[in-house]
Amino acid sequence: MSFEDRTLAKAYWRENIRLLLSLLLIWFIVSFGFGILWVEELNSIRLGGFKLGFWFSQQGAIYSFVVLIFVYVVKMNRLDRKYNVHED
Amino acid sequence: MSIQLLTILIVGASFALYIAIALWARAGSTQEFYVAGGDVHPIANGMATAADWMSAASFISMAGLISFMGYDGGVYLMGWTGGYVLLALCLAPYLRKFGKFTVPDFIGDRYYSQVARTVAVVCAIFVSFTYVAGQMRGVGVVFSRFLEVDILTGVIIGMGVVFFYAVLGGMKGITYTQVAQYCVLIFAYLVPAVFISIMITGNPIPQLGMGDTLADGSGTYLLDKLDGLSQELGFTAYTSGTKSKIDVFFITAALMVGTAGLPHVIVRFFTVPKVRDARKSAGWALLFIALLYTTAPSIAAFARVNMINTINGPEGQGIAREQAPSWINNWEKTGLISWEDKNDDGRMYYAGDERNEMTIDRDIMVMANPEIANLPAWVIALVAAGGIAAALSTSAGLLLVISTSVSHDLLKRNLMPDITDRQELRYARGAAAVAVVIAGYLGVNPPGFVAQVVAFAFGLAAASFFPAIILGIFSRRMNKEGAISGMLSGVTFTAAYIVYFKFVNPGANVPENWLWGISPEGIGTLGMLLNFVVALAVSRFTPDAPEEIQAMVESIRFPKGSGEAQAH
């Protein structure tokens, strides 16, 4: 066990899960939400030549995915260091 | 210089590069053969993962599919990228910390069961063969169109090259070749896209050009023009689809989850030195993939406008057959485009209703695009080299999974535990060699259902591996009874649904007969949910996983102490 005690291990895991779920919520909203479920509503908004819902399903969701992963990388590295479980 | 000579030069140069890299990165141990020694830089690994992932289907077929599907094509764009978020957040770091070579390794060890390992090996081999047959076919098609050799010769050349660097170099050779292949394929994809974007909209960035106004001075937005054209010709508007919302939802989910469950993608995250690098390299991989995947919908829209305009003419009256541009003649020879003069006016006409006289294969959109747009010959040659790079890089990654599954999961961990590292390496090379030959055979004589079984591969990966791995990480107490019954019920349900609608009763494959309107392409999502439900239910009524397994699960949940990927 690399943690000093079990409560720390639990706290680390709980923070990890919270981060995970909030990022997955955004992941769901930009793709399944904006790109599929609410696409007609968003299509009434225009972004230059794009209808917004269509843009999300063909480009916007993908950009969001990339950002989500890099946000996760930064936040997890910070969390690892906070609990002293990072690699040397 | 003729297009053919240019193509031979450019493709030949790219082959020489791949072989040189393979010689430089020869694998000396199973460690290097399976996971490239575990010291690949995350950016290099990201590029290799991207090349591994983007197959002949992504390079050659996807933009064409979107071009014909419009909004519905978004299922591929979101589905084949969104899975990387799941991979990066839920799988890659933990599997890297676990530190073994393969997906069946994880399933077998985590669920302390040879049955679970065997189920996983069978799924991994099946999924990989399904895929690799399509890749070899892609190589054959590119060769036959651009080098004018027959498909058999094309496939044999492709097999030879893959054989050389996959068998010799293992994961190490494959990884560094894939980095080179990524560069070739992305360059080959972007160059024509930029040219065409400038021609049509005056905007050099294809992603923006798609939402820009046409360069003809009319001030009309490209997508509005496309919507109008589509509706005049009897199609639905380009920016709205024909699939039902629930089906789009389920197909997207199946492709996402399937991506995250594909063994040849997961294994890439065993090749980096640290857990931190596994997370980061998923991000780089998606960034490199996104470069192609956000260009594809632009190419799709440009190609559609171009194609309609060249066939129907600026006045929309159809172009006389004898004045048809040369690309139509070139591709007519391959049988991928054909014209039937229904109203005997000697003019071609393309439409979505009874006025239509053209049959156009979706696959030609990317390959013919440079010709349709009258781009210089070297661009056309470059696209051929890119298509081959995409097919080769994916085949190599898949062949490695097959050979690892045989030599490591089946022999070393199951049937012949006493073999030495050197013997195991020899078996791995032998298995790779046999797999290349089988893949080549399937490429030349494709079973009629290659396209159908791709849905199978994703559905199966989604309904089998994904829940088993997720539960193995996030539920400490999940036991072998739960995992095995979950995998079996998920796979059986998904396979039965697909087999029924694709093979047993293809005539009934219409939305009215589908369960809740979900097509066979999207059914893997339901199979995955079923797997989760069954696994959780069964595990409640059976004993928890043993203490040492629970301790192992605890230990993969934080990065500290990750060593190199270990054999034992």
pTM higher than 0.80: yes
Coil, helix or strand for B320?
A: strand
CA distance A20 to chain B (A): 7
Q: Which residue has the higher pLDDT, A32 or B155?
A: A32
Q: pLDDT band at B568, cuts 50/70/90?
A: very low
- Across the interface, whether the CB atoms of A58 and B77 are under 8 A apart is answered yes
- Report yes or no: B440 and B159 within 8 Å, Cβ to Cβ: yes
Q: Which residue of A has its CA nearest to B82?
A: A65
Q: Measure the CA–CA gap between B62 and A6, rounded to whole angstroms.
A: 49
Considering chain A, what is the average pLDDT of its residues?
87
What does the pLDDT average to over B452-460? 73
B positions 252-271 inside 8 Å of A (CB)? 252-253
Question: Closest partner residue to B252 among A36, A48, A62, by Cβ?
Answer: A36
The count of CB pairs under 8 A between chains A and B is 144
pLDDT in tens, B509-559: 777 777 787 888 888 899 999 999 999 999 889 888 888 888 888 888 888
Question: Closest partner residue to B554 among A9, A49, A61, by Cβ?
Answer: A9
Q: Measure the CA–CA gap between B469 and B473, rounded to whole angstroms.
A: 6
Residue B213's DSSP bridge partners are B221
Rg (CA), chain B: 24
Measured between beta carbons, the chain B residues lying within 8 angstroms of A55 are 211
pLDDT in tens, B26-82: 766 676 766 666 677 888 888 988 988 888 778 887 888 888 888 888 888 998 999
Considering chain B, what is the average pLDDT of its residues?
81
- Which pLDDT value is given to residue B213? 80
Q: Measure the CA–CA gap between B433 and B476, rounded to whole angstroms.
A: 39
pLDDT in tens, A17-28: 999 999 999 999
**Does the pLDDT at position A52 exceed 50?**
yes
Tokens 């892609």 belong to residue: B138
pLDDT in tens, B109-128: 888 888 888 888 888 887 78
Report how far apart the first and last C-alpha atoms of chain B are (Å, whole number).
57
Q: Which of A66, A68, A80 should we substitute to test contact with B (largest number of B Cβ atoms within 10 Å)?
A: A66
- Across the interface, whether the CB atoms of A37 and B211 are under 8 A apart is answered no
Measured between beta carbons, the chain A residues lying within 8 angstroms of B84 are 65, 69
- Across the interface, whether the CB atoms of B211 and A48 are under 8 A apart is answered yes
Q: CA B100, B103, B105 angle in degrees (round to 5)?
A: 50
User: Percent of chain B beyond pLDDT 90?
Assistant: 10
- Which pLDDT value is given to residue B309? 81
- Across the interface, whether the CB atoms of B221 and A35 are under 8 A apart is answered no
Ramachandran quadrant class, A19 (left: phi over 0; alpha: psi -120 to 50; beta: rest): alpha
Q: Measure the CA–CA gap between B171 and B37, rounded to whole angstroms.
A: 9
Beta strands A50-51 and A46-47: pairing type?
antiparallel
Q: Which residue has the higher pLDDT, B445 or B1?
A: B445
Question: Closest partner residue to A20 among B74, B89, B297, by Cβ?
Answer: B89
Q: Measure the CA–CA gap between B292 and B361, rounded to whole angstroms.
A: 22
3-state secondary structure B153-168: HHHHHHHHHHHHHHHH
Integer angstrom CA distances of residue B125 from B130, B167, B249, B278, B410: 9, 17, 28, 24, 11
CA distance B376 to chain A (A): 29
- Which pLDDT value is given to residue B253? 92
Q: Which of A10, A17, A57 should we substitute to test contact with B (largest number of B Cβ atoms within 10 Å)?
A: A57
Tokens 């996104």 belong to residue: B290
Question: Closest partner residue to B88 among A72, A77, A83, by Cβ?
Answer: A72
- Across the interface, whether the CB atoms of B239 and A37 are under 8 A apart is answered no
Integer angstrom CA distances of residue B546 from A47, B524, B553: 56, 31, 11
CA distance B135 to chain A (A): 25
Coil, helix or strand for B273?
A: coil
